[in-house]
Structure 1
Amino acid sequence: MSLTLQIIDPREDPEPAGWERLRTAAGQCVTWRYDLLRAYAWAAQAPVLLTVLREDGVAVGAVSASLRGLRPRRGLYAGRREPAGILDVHAPGNRSQKGWWFAGDLDPERRRELLRGYVSGVRRELGAGWRSFVWREVSPGEPALLPGRVRVNLPTEPLARLATPRTGIDDWYARLDRARRDSLRRRARGFSADPGLSVQVGPARELVTGSEAAALRAENDLKHRNRLFPLAPLPLPYLEALVGGDEVVAIAYRDGGGRLLGLSLILDHPRWPVCLSWGALPPEDGGRKHLYFDGYVRMVEWAIGAGKTGLVLGKGQAEAKRDLGAELVPSSALAVPL
């Protein structure tokens, strides 16, 4: 088959034909919706390049990469492209997913060939100065699919995935050690009975505004700023579009005056929803202790009630998530120099 690349600047270029159909067929979360890609690209600290892979004109996959120039920029980046740099392949606004995916269950050799074609085509498009790649969120077994003879494998935080029981919350509690189980149950009962605290779970557009989500999310993002090529905090226009849509679930904690104390945002999915973020006011600013762990109880209750296979709990706090019954899947960044 003949492979062609449709290389797109989400800031300026129109949505590619059939994009939403492709996203849905590939089972990708709402963060790949084109209006969100555009909002993310305008606020990013490096130009975002979206590439649609087409075989004989039919879209079969996509890759998103940030163009990390040799001279780092701050704030909104200029439209001029740097002459040289690194292609940083990552999912926009979401560390729990990869920056490359395919429609359908393609065999490994075909995936390998498509990614080789992507690398060759993007290098031709960008020029000789763009010879190096970083592929993020690489799972065990995947390095063999990625192009390049010389690789540097950089272990990163594992990805936590929690399979949910079909039979009810008690079966999840039964997986946990006694001390953890007792503390979670006790706090959940206490929070539910507290007249000065409301706990709501449902569509984000009904429970929270974009500005509220941005305020708590920004504080959470700062905890991850010590990473290689740190991602910029998600901007207000992005979060307004995200929580205003149909594919995001919120767990919102408010005090008696309606002040938002804690917020979890979950990217809905038919089988494996993704826990995008958690943010909370610290106790010294009027927040409540232990909301973080109670949030997982509410997530599991929601996932069981909605018939989900499990939850992608994301990265960070790996040991705490393992204590909650999650499997820790090894992950790495694969650097391919020159």
Structure 2
Amino acid sequence: MGELDVQFADPTAIDPPAGWAELVRDAPLHPVWDWSLVRTMAAARDGAAVAAVVRDGDRVAGLVHARLIGPGRSVADVECPGSMSLPGVALPGMPLPGVALPGDPATGPDPAGTGRHGGPLAAVVEAFEAALRRERGRRIRAVSYRQVYAGALPVLARGIGLVRRGDDVAVLRNRFADYEQYLAALPGKRRRDQGRLVRQTDSDPGVTVHFGQVPEDFDAAAFHALAERTGERNQRRRWPPRRRWPPQFHAAQAALPGARLLRYADADGRLLAATITFDHPSVPLAGPWAAVDPHEGGRAGVWYEHFARSLRWAIESGRAGYIAGKGLMAQKAELGFEAVPQWTVLRRLAGR
């Protein structure tokens, strides 16, 4: 790897910078790296965002996305533009959390033979931070990297400041020949309940289920409102505070290439529950979840039931795994998910 060039882009621009869309398509990265989400979030934050393309000659070596937070927007908080389960530095071939993929760029010797260690990830991070110092001067005091998984932790935490363990991310590794083999691996009661819940929904004339491409009649505003209420209901702790998403963010997620909608509606067409799954050739990613409280006319058990449908699709389509995000880890463990640890690493920038 030669000397890297970092090009900062206007995150509110309509079109992505050269190389961004191509890396998302060809790596392939998750669709939550689509430029439409960068633009949507930057607009909602009044431009308080950073988007950078890191180049090695004519080749795109990586993408970096960050939001500017803290007093005076003095911290570049590096995170994936469309998910709180993935890191904010994307490299070709970067492994997904908990799923072994070839070509891990997070560790190993530097291929340029400089005597440094850390591989492409270290080179991209070093180039990004140096460019950020030149571009922003002393306005940016620190860089915070979120969703740092075990392979990248030695690179990002080397000789620097603060490391904090974050919430685990639930990952199902697909080791199954078919969905029935997956069910057989679950605890007995959960195995029986998963099948019962699907049969119960399918036989209910008052519920209509859609699972597939997002239809034109999808009401993104209703989905957003219900997702926000669901998040408030499920948030059991005061700190850290729950992230609130702008309405246009969920609409942009639904419009992503490869987005799949699982929607439950009653006989009058009222939304009962819904989620968006972001497809990927190897490991699909669960998006926001919204459901009417059972005490207010919702369906009990629909959270478990929606995983029965989503995981059947992922397993039978031969995906390597399924990422189900954070929270409710005990319940997800009943469904065969593993808790994959991740960290936040804070690195001082100014004066280094």
In the superposition, the TM-score normalised over structure 2's length comes to 0.85
Query: Unaligned stretches of 5+ in structure 1?
Result: 72-81
Partner of 1:120: 130
Give the C-alpha shift of residue 23 in structure 1: 1.1
Is 1:56 the counterpart of 2:47? The answer is: no
Verify the 8 A CA contact 1:5 1:54 in the aligned structure 2.
yes
**Which whole-Å CA distance do the structure 2 matches of 1:123 and 1:202 have between them?**
45
Partner of 2:39: 38
Partner of 1:78: none
**Which whole-Å CA distance do the structure 1 matches of 2:42 and 2:143 have between them?**
19
Is 1:65 the counterpart of 2:75? The answer is: no
Verify the 8 A CA contact 1:205 1:245 in the aligned structure 2.
no
**Letter matched to residue 200 of structure 2:** G
Partner of 2:29: 28
Which of 327, 334, 338 is the aligned partner of 2:345?
334
Q: Secondary structure at the match of 2:143?
A: strand
Which of 83, 91, 103 is the aligned partner of 1:102?
91
Deviations 1:220-268 (A, max 9, x none): 44455945475431x3333223323431011111111111100011001
**Letter matched to residue 179 of structure 2:** I
Which of 292, 295, 303 is the aligned partner of 2:314?
303
**Which whole-Å CA distance do the structure 1 matches of 2:157 and 2:225 have between them?**
40
Partner of 2:303: 292
**Which whole-Å CA distance do the structure 2 matches of 1:17 and 1:155 have between them?**
35
Partner of 2:17: 16
Query: Unaligned stretches of 5+ in structure 2?
Result: 94-102, 109-117
Partner of 1:274: 285
1:144-293 matches, within 5 Å, as: 144-146=154-156, 149-205=159-215, 208-222=218-232, 223=234, 226-228=238-240, 231-233=243-245, 235-293=246-304
Verify the 8 A CA contact 1:272 1:312 in the aligned structure 2.
yes
**Which whole-Å CA distance do the structure 2 matches of 1:249 and 1:201 have between them?**
7
Number of residue-to-residue matches in the alignment = 325
Give the C-alpha shift of residue 49 in structure 1: 0.2
Q: Residues 58 and 240 of structure 1: is their aligned pair in 2 closer, same or farther, counting only changes over 3 Å?
A: same
Give the C-alpha shift of residue 206 in structure 1: 5.2
**Which whole-Å CA distance do the structure 1 matches of 2:228 and 2:275 have between them?**
13
Give the C-alpha shift of residue 160 in structure 1: 0.8
Give the C-alpha shift of residue 141 in structure 1: 3.4
**Letter matched to residue 183 of structure 1:** D
Q: Secondary structure at the match of 2:171?
A: strand
**Which whole-Å CA distance do the structure 1 matches of 2:20 and 2:52 have between them?**
11
Give the C-alpha shift of residue 2 in structure 1: 2.4
Which of 80, 91, 96 is the aligned partner of 2:80?
91
Which of 303, 310, 334 is the aligned partner of 1:323?
334
